[in-house]
Every structure is written in C-alpha cells, then in structure tokens.
Amino acid sequence: MPGREKDKGMISHHAALIYTMVFVAAADTDMTDVELRTIGDCVRGLPVFRGFDIEQLTKVTAACAELLEKEDGVEEAFEHVRQALPHKLRETAYAVACDVAASDGVVGPVEQQILEMIRHRLEIDRLIAAGIERGSRARFTVL
C-alpha cells in the first residue's frame, strides 16, 4: 500500500500526517478542491514533509480514502496513524488537520467531530488544541 514502509508494514510519519488531513477532508464525504489544495500546500511547504516524494501524494491520499471505506476502516486508519507518528509530531498532525478543516471557511459539525476524535486519539491537550484551532481559523479568515 502506498505510504507504507516496506520493512515495517506500517505507514510512514509523512503518510500519517497526510491521513489526518484526509480524515478531515473526507469527513463530510465531499473532499473539496480547496481542501485538496490545502493538503498539497502543506505537503509542499511544511518542513516536516522534507524528503517526501510529492509524486506519492495522490497514492497516499487514495490509500487512506480506500481504507476509510472499509468496515472498521476508520479505526484501522487511526491505529496506523498512532503507531506511525512520533509523539512530537502529534500536535503537527492536529494542526494540519485543523488547517484542512478551516481552509474552505466553514468547519461543519462532522468536521468538528472528526477533529475532536483526532484530538482524543492523539492525546492533544484541550488548551493546546484550542490554540491550534484558533491559529488555523486566523490563517484562513477572509473578508
């Protein structure tokens, strides 16, 4: 499966970060162009993605979406993310997920629920999460 490390049978930390963004983008079953563009911008622009082959982005995104369609796929995907992410990248994962949620200007109830699930699964402190959420909202606010 794309985004998996061959020798460990698990996804890479890059793929885990991408999965968290796909979780949010796919939450309402409509991954918008704006959300997909935000995912691409994060992968191309953030230092944490240095060394990631951008040509693999579509494959990793599709692999996550395919996994989410399976029965118990959400649980399996979250488990892959938890195993692949070093503790120091958990806040980063939450931040990129918040950026995707905020990118289209509206964070609906389903996206809020997914963000809360990500926060709990990655054990992000509520106050830290609130700061991350506010930062995302500020970055994507338009007149």
Q: At what angle do helices 13-25 and 57-69 cross, to 10 degrees?
A: 60
Measured CA to CA in angstroms, residue 87 lies from 38, 80, 92, 109, 124 at distances of: 24, 14, 10, 27, 10
Predicted pLDDT of residue 106:
85
90-117 tens-digit pLDDT: 999 999 999 999 998 888 899 999 999 9
| Rounded CA separation 139/67 (Å) | 30
CB-based contact 62:2 (threshold 8 Å): yes
Its pTM stands at 0.90
Could you tell me the domains of the chain?
A: 4-137 (1.10.3680.10)
DSSP H helices, the chain, are 13-25, 33-45, 57-69, 73-84, 90-102, 109-121, 126-139
Q: pLDDT under 50 in the chain at which residues?
A: 1, 4-9
pLDDT value of residue 2:
52
